[in-house]
Structure 1
Amino acid sequence: MAIYILRRIVSTVAVMAMVGIFVFLLLRLAPGDPAAIIAGNKGTPAMIAGIREQLGLNDPLPVQFVHWAFNILRGDFGTSIFTGQPVLQLISQRLEPTISLSTLTMILSVTVGVSFGVLAAWRTGGLVDRILTAFATLGFSVPVFVVGFFLIYLFATTTHWLPVQGYQPIDHGFGPWLVHVILPTVTLSLGYIAFIARITRASMLEILSEDYMRTAAAKGASSYAMLFHHALKNAGIPILTVIGLSFAGLIGGVVITETVFNIPGAGRLVVDAIHNRDYPVIQGVLILVSGLYVLINLAVDLSYTLVDPRIRY
């Protein structure tokens, strides 16, 4: 068990090192002069020279990487070219909306998706199974921005039940916060609900067809015990894997959803940084998001040992 955990941690560190090298080279090896790209069409030679000096682009490449990596390790992600603020400060100001949206999305997606998958497997071939399978196919096929615009039209523009756009911090009141995150959360959740439900259904059907499940039914085990105590537990690894993949998919989904609903989160920060050619911000967000993605994968790998004891040995 200890060797398994140590091996996973070492591989995680190696992956983060490779991500760091890629993010560093993303700016340095891009076509053209990065300083000229940042300065834009109105950049003067003096302005371009100042940007090169600010970014340390005049130093040899290995020296630049060591200096950049050392700053990252001590929490210095650089300064925004566009606003002049520290990158870490800019990101921290945008974290609450993104964390709120991501957390609610995963809670809703896992709860509803697993429940739908179990129910569809239990009633396989019946009306409930066909309805849930059709919903899963539709939810997995329709793009996030299409769902977002449809929900805005239905619940905001037509009925005026919910606000069209914007975000209210939770310290302004739970009610206003919840009202502003309902539509984005549902928009972002539908695809993940469908994804998790399809994998859960397939995994449950495979387990329910095993001999030991028929033996449990012959011994008089209740439907609840068969579904949740035996089947769902043994189908846990594929479900955990797809939940981890869903967390990773949130990275792209949050960017689109925050743009559609005009939410000032980390996704919008990336979009604005790309428009402004603010490379230090882009690099900072990429490093943090990549680190979060790697840590989620590590947590999913370690959770396998809780579901399948054989992995511990």
Structure 2
Amino acid sequence: MLSFLIKRLLTAMGMIIFVASFVFLALYLVPGDPAEVLLAADGGTPTQEAIEATRAKLGLDRPMLEQYVAYLGRIVSGDFGNSFADDEPVIDNIRQRLPRTLELIGAATVLAILIGLLLGTLSALWRGSLLDRVIGLWSSLAISIPVFVLGTLMVFVFALTLQLVPAGGFTPFSVSPGQHLVQLLMPALSIAVGFSSIIARMSRSTVLEMLQQDWVRTARSKGLTERRVVVRHVVRNALGPVLTLTGLHMGSLLGGTVLVEYVFNWPGLSGLLVHAVERRDYPEVQGIVLIIATLFILLNLVVDLLYLALDPRVQTR
């Protein structure tokens, strides 16, 4: 167990360093001068002297290797530098918006697992029935609809036509818990629907496989009720592949929040990333991308540990 954990932690650290290096090099290989873009943001034409002074202030006049070493040193200490646009610490901007994005992803993941696992299990238990065909049709439709299209349709139907929920916005939980959860529901559902269809398909095939195992027949022969057999033996063992699938799709969930936050006016980290890219704000882009990549890597580490808890045989494979 300990060796398995150490191996995973070392792998995660190596991947984080690789991502940090890749982000640094990718941004600095992009054509254009961020100092010139920053000075031209007000609509004027900056002079060469002003551009050089700004480059010196931002440290862009130093050799790339020196900038790279300084960059790695800063991120180790948790310092992502100051934003080019407002000269505010990047970590402060991230700290303000990151919880909102994590909340959105967390709610969407929970909804996707609950919906997908339930529908996949029902589809497997009633294999070949009308219910199975309906769930299969729903899965095909749900996975084919882009998240921004689904979000726009939900706004049109539930907010503008039926007027059941607000079209978007954000209210802090401390101000109004009910309003906050209502505003969270539609963006979380728009992300969860497509993902839940993938989980439903995985759950269906896994549950069907589990139902054919000898230990399931043994549990039934002992007189256990069908509900207990399904819940304690079948569904529990089907959770492993579902957790693995969830970890693999965390990256797409993080990416999907960009459009969802825009459609529902949810002030999360993805919207900040889009604005930083538009402004060529290198420190902010680097900080946000590195945080998102680190989250993805750590979430996969957590999934590995959960999978190990469900199936201890994993560490011997």
Q: How does the TM-score come out when normalised to structure 1?
A: 0.94
User: Which string of whole-angstrom CA distances, capped at 9 and with x for unpartnered residues, describes residues 213-262 of structure 1?
Assistant: 23433443322222122222222321111121233222111111001111
Query: Is 1:97 equivalent to 2:105 in the alignment?
Result: no
Partner of 1:6: 6
Paired residue secondary structure (1:301) = helix
Gaps of 5+ in 1: none
Asked whether the 8 Å contact 1:36–1:43 carries over to 2, the reply is yes
Partner of 2:228: 225
Asked whether the 8 Å contact 2:38–2:85 carries over to 1, the reply is no
The one-letter code of the counterpart of 1:231 is: V
Partner of 2:243: 240
Q: What is the correspondence of 1:62-211 to structure 2 with a 5 Å cutoff?
A: 62-211=65-214
Asked whether the 8 Å contact 1:97–1:169 carries over to 2, the reply is no
Partner of 1:291: 294
Asked whether the 8 Å contact 2:101–2:269 carries over to 1, the reply is yes
Partners of 1:225 and 1:122 lie apart in 2 by 14
Paired residue secondary structure (1:27) = helix
- Cα RMSD between the aligned structures? 1.8
Using the aligned pairs only, state the percent identity: 37
Partners of 2:18 and 2:36 lie apart in 1 by 27
Asked whether the 8 Å contact 1:96–1:169 carries over to 2, the reply is no
Correspondent of 2:278 among 270, 275, 278: 275
Paired residue secondary structure (1:167) = coil
Asked whether the 8 Å contact 2:97–2:269 carries over to 1, the reply is yes
Partners of 1:96 and 1:292 lie apart in 2 by 12
Partners of 2:54 and 2:6 lie apart in 1 by 42
The one-letter code of the counterpart of 2:272 is: L
The one-letter code of the counterpart of 1:192 is: F
Paired residue secondary structure (1:277) = coil
* 1:79 CA drift (Å): 1.2
Partner of 1:57: 60
Partners of 1:179 and 1:308 lie apart in 2 by 37
The one-letter code of the counterpart of 2:168 is: Q
Paired residue secondary structure (2:85) = coil
* 1:34 CA drift (Å): 4.2
Asked whether the 8 Å contact 1:28–1:34 carries over to 2, the reply is no
Aligned length: 313
* 1:211 CA drift (Å): 3.0
Partners of 2:21 and 2:187 lie apart in 1 by 34
Partner of 1:260: 263
Deviates more, 1:276-285 or 1:46-55: 46-55
The one-letter code of the counterpart of 1:296 is: L
